Structure 1
Amino acid sequence: MRIKDIVKLTTKSIIPNHETMYHLYSLPSFDENQNFEVLSGEEIQSNKFIVPDKCILFNKLNVRFKRVWRIDNKDVNKLCSTEFLPLVVDESKVDYQYCYYLLISDRITNYLCGQNTNTSGSHKRINPEDFLNISITLPKMSIQKCIGRILYDFDQKIALNHAINDNLPMPDRSLREVGVRHVA
């Protein structure tokens, strides 16, 4: 089995309408906070891919950074950079969450890092056909669902812990840690 057997690449593109507001999934917005930007078509200016309601956006530029986005919403006017591959998961063959974790696995990333083509030293882009033709083996659907649910729950717990930690004051370092001696 290959990745192309479990996902469908959808690359329908549009030139954004200047008067319309869009949710744009871009590399900078992924890197900044993994949240879409709300922009007018006039601000976007170039053609973009239409984002399906439920898909996984897989970045084809510098895959070592694992810019992979789960999209599961019915928002209107969703677009993404053409540096993403919008993948619709065939949920009759693979669990959506399991597929996401498969796509961000070190095995897939390491393979693609060896296959990418250089546009420059800092811009290494994969060929979508190489990506879609990667051989995979899937466990039974019940095992996929279990693994996907456990990993998703871990990610949610980590995100919650980050949010809690971001709201806590930084602890004062002890005087001993900074080399200050208490003189009595």
Structure 2
Amino acid sequence: MKLGDICSKIGSGATPRGGKDSYKDSGTAIIRSQNVFDWSFSSSGLAFIDDDQAEALSSVEVKHGDVLLNITGDSVARACIVPSEFLPARVNQHVAIIRANDKANNLFLLAWLQANKGILLKLASSGATRNALTKRMLENLDVNLPPIDVQNKVAAFIDSIQAKITLNTKLNGYLEELAALEFSRRFGEIESSIDLGKVLSISTKTLKPQNCHGEIWEHYSIPAYDANRRPVFELADDIKSNKYVIDANCILISKLNPSIRRIWMPACSSKRAVCSTEFIVYKPKNPVHIAFYYAAIGAPAFRDFLLAHVTGSTGSRQRAQPKATLTYPIPNPGLEAVEDFCAFANPLYEQIKVNERNSKQLEELRDALLPKLMTGEIDVSKLDLKHLNSHLA
């Protein structure tokens, strides 16, 4: 059966007239390839258009349950389903809507695309120029579609895993927000301050991973942060450019486009960890107080400071100046107050890391089972979902 036979719509959109300059602060979301990741949707950098622009793109309205697929560029073949909270929405020309008809379960369809990503990547690279998937390519994909009741069971199993991952992500957001609110409550009106450079240094220790043949490295990148704030474990030979060496006593801040908040306290579960050189790597002079420093530079005032010290004229090309950040004044409430805050915040940040590890394990389980579920090698009716659904009780 062809993909076109089990879909009521396959098609991409367009960039509104005026391009990026026409985007609004609110309205109807315009979903771009930077928002579509494997299995997950990122609202980072989500753009909006007004009612007239949305009407002009009414033919590519995103509906509840639609599968979105990136069809051009380096992110080609990434696919997800958009959470309903981001609707109404439209897509631009780099994203295709794949809408299942009554023959297919939409989540099963997403799972099929993920399980067959290798085929999509091969198709996309068959052109003469940049990677691209055309509507005709997608419509002609051969899909081995089981009966709808089997699809529904597979989808239910995958959904139980995705629900837990989503819950972990939301919980981590709440925990980080709680720590930030407590930091603001305690220190928002403190007049005494100290330059950031007195308590943090910037590390630029660089490594060329390709020289570490055969080793697996924990890689913290901008795309990994935007996707799910979890590092990617990669073979060193596949990491092509130089990276900064990091450890668990680091704080990472994106210097690229600082208007988008990207702050990371890496878990560094292995001794081989690197990050993109698009991050500023801060190392506390007293690692015991890292929770206090993390909250301090995660505050909106620090992002404003970054934006006041950038090179480049437009948002996506702006970069913060690392050395300039060392003059940022952070609260200096005294040792006892700092330690008291760390006692409050440390358990929150540790729980975030636990949740992230749990989500990674669930993703590995999902990805390991997916090919066998798609082929029917594993009978999904015999899988017990109770332990996965217990978090929803």
Letter matched to residue 11 of structure 1:
T
Alignment of 1:1-184 (within 5 A): 1-16=194-209, 17-73=212-268, 75-91=270-286, 95-118=289-312, 120-151=314-345, 153=347, 156=351, 168=392
How large is the RMSD of aligned CA atoms in angstroms? 2.7
Q: Secondary structure at the match of 2:238?
A: helix
1:58–1:84 contact (8 Å) kept in structure 2: yes
| Highest RCO, 1 vs 2 (Cα 8 Å, sep ≥ 6) | 1
Post-superposition shift, 1:7?
A: 0.8
Structure richer in helix, relative to its length: 2
Q: Between Structure 1 and Structure 2, how many residues are aligned?
A: 164
Change (3 A) 1:99 1:33: same
Post-superposition shift, 1:51?
A: 0.6
1:64–1:109 contact (8 Å) kept in structure 2: yes
TM, length-normalised to structure 1? 0.76
Change (3 A) 1:42 1:154: closer
Change (3 A) 1:148 1:65: farther
Letter matched to residue 277 of structure 2:
T
Distance 2:260 2:315 in 1: 15
Percent identity over paired residues: 24
Post-superposition shift, 1:56?
A: 0.8
2:218–2:268 contact (8 Å) kept in structure 1: no
Structure richer in strand, relative to its length: 1
TM, length-normalised to structure 2? 0.38
Post-superposition shift, 1:36?
A: 0.8
| Runs of 4 or more consecutive aligned structure 1 residues displaced over 4 Å after TM superposition | 151-157
Query: Where do 5+ consecutive residues of structure 1 fail to align?
Result: 170-184
Change (3 A) 1:28 1:59: same
- Cα deviation, 1:89-125, whole Å, max 9, x if unaligned, reads 1228x72101000001111111211221216442211
Larger Rg: 2
- Cα deviation, 1:144-166, whole Å, max 9, x if unaligned, reads 12224434556658x97xx999x
- Cα deviation, 1:44-78, whole Å, max 9, x if unaligned, reads 11100001331111211122322111135462110
